[in-house]
Chains A and B, each alone.
Chain A
Amino acid sequence: MTPEAGAALGPWVVESVSPAAMADFAEVLADPNPIHLDPEAVKAMGLGDRVVNQGPANFGYVLEMLKAAVPGATVVDLRVRLQANVFGGDRVIAAGVVESVADGEHGTRILNCAVWLDVDGGARAIAGTASLILSQNP
């Protein structure tokens, strides 16, 4: 069933952003920036004392939220601004809202959504839009 305009998406929650996952993602990204790996490097940059999550992981959570909220849909467009850091141990909440629904090609529906990722008790880390294509069930 296609969500209607105004439908809420999520929330999708990461209870505690994992420093171990950051280390793993650093290898997948081939990004050796020590602020994702070493709290001392974070201190040296004046950013606090917890490792900083990779920005792409933060909008990756938004993609996971969309996958859970609209099963079977395909993300065709994601436009995000990275507005704040997420740190190791943070609880983050990905969510969104369907802003419009339109007919696509071959009987598909196109969902245009606002999406975001909030740090629980903190800043909005990610804000943007997503477009998804959803095939209609016969």
Chain B
Amino acid sequence: MNHQPFGRFIDMAVASGTPLPPGTFTITPEENRRLAGVLGADPEDTTAHPLWAYVATQRGIGIGVADLCALADFDVADGPMLGSVDMELRAPLAVGVEYRVTGEVLSIVRKEGRKTGPFDIMTYRERLLDGDGAEVVSTTNTFILPRRAA
């Protein structure tokens, strides 16, 4: 039966819950200004932009996008696409503060679209923790990984 409305979990190098290598990240004043400039925001605003919730987790986790894709046996050169982002900000982000960054793979699910052909949806969560270990930010992201039809 080809109808798979919810996709199916597939056997990959990683299992659900596999932790990602931790790291650290500090938002610098210079990079905060650059980010504001990219978005057309006030470059004199010294508060950390909320988009750092995504950027800091993505950069701070101890694994690059290419290696993250490799966990799903996917070559980053084949064009992963960011499909969705859920960001929860439990406290204001701060410039000049070192955050610990942790995360884990939540799932890798195979789907097939009539037009797109087969693709995998890789869902992973990353978070920023302050010096006391309290969660400041949690992001849950999905990458869409197009698979060439066999």
Name A residues whose Cβ lies closer than 8 Å to a Cβ of B.
Answer: 14, 21, 24-25, 27-31, 35, 45, 55-57, 59-61, 63-64, 67, 74-82
Contacts and interface: CB of A to CB of B under 8 A. Distances in A.
Interface of B: 31, 34-35, 37-41, 49-51, 53-55, 58-59, 64-65, 79, 81-90, 92
A79 B86 contact: yes
A75 B50 contact: yes
19 contacts: A21-B37, A24-B37, A25-B35, A28-B35, A28-B38, A28-B55, A29-B55, A29-B59, A35-B79, A56-B54, A56-B55, A57-B38, A59-B85, A61-B40, A63-B51, A64-B41, A76-B89, A78-B87, A82-B84
Interface secondary structure of B, over-half rule: mixed
A34 B65 CA distance: 14
A76 B135 CA distance: 13
Contacts of A14: 40
A63 B49 contact: yes
Nearest 6 CB-CB pairings of A with B: A55-B82, A60-B51, A25-B38, A79-B86, A60-B39, A21-B38
Contacts of B51: 56, 59-60, 63
A68 to B, nearest CB: 9
